[in-house]
Amino acid sequence: MLRKLAVVLGLLGVSALRSEARVLEIYWIDAEGGAATLIVSPSGESLLVDTASVTPGDRDLKRILGAIQHAGLKKIDCLLTTHFHGDHYGTLPALAKLIPIGMYFDHGPSVELDRAYVATAYKAYEELVAGKRTILKPGDHIPLKGVDIEVIASAGRAITSPLKGAGAKNPACADFKPLPPEVDPDNDQSVGFVLRYNKFDFIDMGDLTQNYEQKLVCPANLIGKIDLYQTTHHGLERSNSAQFVWAIQPKVAIMNNGPRKGGPASVFEVLRNSPGLEDIWQGHLALGTPKAVNTDEKMIANLEPTAECKGNLLKVSVASDGKFTVTNERTGYSKTYQAE
């Protein structure tokens, strides 16, 4: 199977599918509630954030390779694993055999090494990335040419001084009620970053949960306003606190949820009450949430349960003037927004 995929990848022309204009492109790969976000800088360099799950028939691996082909890439320059959970680095060992990967970035050792299956997978990761690995701390930059990517959280720590233009007191903090500690504590080790390209900014916080979100936005908002928000933790309720979302005030939110993971009504409520939010896009219809609570169907990439799902992409193209266009591969529907 792997060899067949490698042949397909090798035969594909580099520029055939990539649009001529040099723009920033971001692809959300449908991993049925896992995570894989592919970023292609206007320089042509690429960053793959997370590599989804090991799945029957290599479903997620094939979808990641499909997006890589769609973007016309022959290698991945930077690979970030936000944290060491199976839905974020499951396909990595197989993927690394099929395509060259330049550099690896992560938060440092898993904090769940007392679990045997975690220890085994993490050891394999360490061996795979040896000599090509950078452990990130808040304030570091991921060196993707053509954009600026600043790490704002890693290994349970956060930046302590505000990003440019940020630092205002956050009035919502008084209402925050801490959640019980995470059962899967590596979520709170997640690497989170802000990507900037001229006026445009994008945030991805991995699976950081509410208690740790507060480090970034309470008592002062250290991040400032963000144009595009990948809802944290697949759009689950344990993340996406009102304190965080209403502080960053995203213009557009993209939820990388699965049919049965992420997207409860409570998260939609937080998003819809966020000042300045224009639209929510979803990787999947959240089947356990009323249809009327989900976003408009034309902004949802996949409607079916996993067994029938085609794994359509959501894509964002960002022009140098800050206009960014979200496209739903399923319907071809797209909408353009202006970054501030």
Using the minimum distance from each CB to Zn ion, give the nearer residue, 208 or 222: 208
Residues 224-253 that bind Zn ion (CB under 5 A): none
Contact flag: residue 186 with Zn ion (CB under 5 A): no
Separation CA 216–CA 170 (nearest Å): 10
Tell me how far apart the alpha carbons of residues 102 and 67 are, in angstroms, rounded to a whole number. 18
How many positions of this chain bind Zn ion (CB under 5 A)? 6
**Tokens linked to 141:** 């930059």
Cα–Cα separations (whole angstroms), residue 94 to 58, 62, 66, 69, 151: 9, 10, 14, 16, 27
Least gap, CB of 21 to Zn ion (angstroms): 29
CB 47 within 8 Å of CB 39: yes
Residue pair 65/36 in contact by the 8 Å Cβ criterion? no
Q: Which of 302, 317, 327, 328 binds Zn ion (CB under 5 A)?
A: 302
Name the residue among 251, 304, 306 with its Cα closest to residue 281.
251
When the beta carbons of 45 and 50 are compared against Zn ion, the nearer one is 50
Q: Which stretch binds Zn ion (CB under 5 A): 9-17, 25-33, 146-154, 164-172?
A: 25-33
Smallest separation, CB 55 to Zn ion (Å): 11
Distance CA 243, CA 231 (A): 14
Q: Map residues 196-225 to x or -, x wherever contact with Zn ion holds by CB under 5 A.
A: -----------x------------------
Torsion, Cα of 103, 108, 114, 116 (10° steps)? 0
Q: Is 309 in the site for Zn ion (CB under 5 A)?
A: yes
117-176: contacts with Zn ion (CB under 5 A): none
Binders of Zn ion among residues 55 to 94 (CB under 5 A) are 87
Residue from 30, 150, 188, 329 that binds Zn ion (CB under 5 A)? 30
**Residue nearer to Zn ion on the CB measure, 87 or 204:** 87
Residues within the interface to Zn ion (CB under 5 A):
30, 32, 87, 207, 302, 309
